[in-house]
Chain A
Amino acid sequence: AQSVTQPDIHITVSEGASLELRCNYSYGATPYLFWYVQSPGQGLQLLLKYFSGDTLVQGIKGFEAEFKRSQSSFNLRKPSVHWSDAAEYFCAGGYNKLIFGAGTRLAVHP
C-alpha cells in the first residue's frame, strides 16, 4: 500500500543549529513529493516539491530537500534554524492523490 512515513514525532533543536526532518515513502515508482509547514492556528503552506529532475530541491524560507531513490527518502534540511521555524512539518506524496505523513513537530530552543 502507498504510504508516507515521518519517523520523528517531535524534534527539538537549538536556534542556529542545523535541521533534518526525515520522510520515507512507499510507492511502486517515484511519486510526486512535497513538504508543507503548518504554523500554530494556520493552514498548510508549501515549502518545496519534487516531481523529477534534480534530486536536490530548494524551497522557501531557506529549506531544501533531497530525494534519494535508493532509500525511498525525501528528507527536509535547513542549515541554520530560526526560532520562527517552530511549527509542524508534513511530508506528502502521491500519484492520483496526496498521502500525508503524520507530521513532525519542531521546537526551537533559544
Chain B
Amino acid sequence: EAQVTQNPRYLITVTGKKLTVTCSQNMNHEYMSWYRQDPGLGLRQIYYSMNVEVTDKGDVPEGYKVSRKEKRNFPLILESPSPNQTSLYFCASSRTENTEAFFGQGTRLTVV
C-alpha cells in the first residue's frame, strides 16, 4: 500500500530539547516536503527536497532542519524547540513538485 509514515503521531516536549520527527515514503517519490498547519493559516511549507541530498527552504524554515540521505526518508529536526513551534506537522511526498502530494497522518507537537 502506498503510504507516507510519520512518527511519532503525538509529542510533548520541553523548550530546548532536540527532537526529530521521522517521515518515510514507499512510492519512490523524488519530491518530499514538510508543512506545518496552524488554525486560520492553512498549511505552510517548512522545507522541501527535490531528491537525495537536495533540500531547500520553504516559507517558514526558521528553527527547523532537514536531511535527505535516502530517497525514502526525510526527517524533520528541531534543534532547540520553542513554544511557537507547537503545531500540527505533515510530511508529504510526490513524484514532482507540482503533482499530487501524498500526506502522512500528521504529528501533533506541543512544546512547553
Contacts and interface: CB of A to CB of B under 8 A. Distances in A.
Interface of A: 6, 9, 31-32, 34, 36, 41-46, 49, 90, 92, 94-98, 100-103
Contacts of A94: 97-98
Interface residues of B, number: 23
Interface centre among A36, A43, A90, A103, by most chain B C-beta atoms within 10 angstroms, is: A43
B43 A100 contact: yes
A39 B56 CA distance: 30
Interface stretch (B70-78, B79-87, B99-107): B99-107
A9 B42 CA distance: 11
Contact of A96 (B44, B97, B103): B97
Contact of A97 (B41, B45, B100, B103): B45
A100 B106 contact: no
Given A43-B90, A44-B90, A98 B42 contact: no
Given A34-B101, A90-B43, A94-B98, 9 more contacts: A43-B103, A43-B106, A90-B42, A97-B58, A97-B97, A98-B97, A98-B98, A102-B42, A103-B42
A10 B42 CA distance: 13
A81 to B, nearest CB: 22
B105 A43 contact: yes
Contact of B98 (A46, A95, A102): A95
B105 A97 contact: no
B48 interface: yes
Contacts of B4: 43
A92 B105 CA distance: 18
A39 to B, nearest CB: 11
Q: Which 4 A-B pairs have the closest CB atoms?
A: A43-B103, A100-B42, A100-B43, A102-B42
A28 B61 CA distance: 25
6 contacts: A42-B106, A96-B98, A100-B35, A100-B44, A102-B42, A103-B42
